[in-house]
Amino acid sequence: MRFLLSLVLGVSCVTAAFAGEIIAVEDDQPVTYMDEVKALGAVAGQGLACGSTRIDTFEMIARAILITKARSNAEQAAGMRAYNEEKANAYVSKQLDGFFECPQIVRRFDNQDVFNVKIYADGTIQMPSGALFSPRAPYDASTLRQEDKNQEQEARKIYQSGGKRKIGKVKLNTGVDGATPPAYSGSNAPLLQY
């Protein structure tokens, strides 16, 4: 019972914390770029699933953070992928738990400090704490706000169908017997250095 209570509280606290202000538990080190974008994705997924009216503004701010804080194009691409994966996972998880506590999540989502971020025309962002982050190359920040209703409807269809899929019998090929290769042998892509 205690474990279940701590799990529910832990999941609920993710939406209460602004992703950029989360501090890593290990060795009291600040959060890495990838940790930050994953946290932003998880928060976005829950806000989207629960129907927050401020999700579009959150997405714009998240894009600015993703672009501005990335140290290279490769890191930005990896960050965008991680953000989208976490967002999709959080959305489907919220769907599978029956949208548990959505009114509370929306209330906390809509009152985050992230909505006090200032985005300048060249892509520079000023965090609520006052910290300034300049992009590695200035860009037109007004392009972050482009809205495409058809694209949004297509994305919602994809998200909403995710929890309705029937999954048949799954057999994992672990390769433990030595004769059978594992189903996933890893990526051929080069490892990113941080």
Whether residue 97 lies inside any domain: the answer is: yes
State the pLDDT at residue 38.
95
Whether residue 171 lies inside any domain: the answer is: no
State the pLDDT at residue 163.
57
State the pLDDT at residue 146.
63
What value, to the nearest 5°, has the Cα angle with vertex 86 and ends 74 and 79? 15
Whether residue 31 lies inside any domain: the answer is: yes
- Maximal C-alpha separation, the chain: 58
The 3-state secondary structure of the chain reads CHHHHHHHHHHHHHHHCCHHHCECCHHHCECCHHHHHHHHHHHHHHHHHHCCCCHHHHHHHHHHHHHHHCCCHHHHHHHHHHHHHHHHHHHHHHHHCCCCCHHHHHHHHHCCHHHHCEECCCCCEECCCCCEECCCCCCCHHHHHCCCHHHHHHHHHHHHHHCCCCCCCCCCCCCCCCCCCCCCCCCCCCCCCC
For every one of its 194 residues, what pLDDT tens digit does the chain have, with 9 covering 90 and above?
343 334 333 444 444 444 444 444 445 678 899 999 999 999 999 999 999 999 989 999 999 999 999 999 999 999 999 999 999 999 999 989 888 999 999 999 999 999 999 988 888 899 999 899 999 888 888 777 766 677 667 777 776 776 565 656 655 555 555 555 555 444 454 544 43
Whether residue 181 lies inside any domain: the answer is: no
Q: Which domain holds residue 144?
A: 2-162
Whether residue 190 lies inside any domain: the answer is: no
Number of structural domains in the chain: 1
What value, to the nearest 5°, has the Cα angle with vertex 165 and ends 159 and 171? 125
* pTM for this model (two decimals): 0.64
Whether residue 194 lies inside any domain: the answer is: no
Whether residue 90 lies inside any domain: the answer is: yes
Whether residue 24 lies inside any domain: the answer is: yes
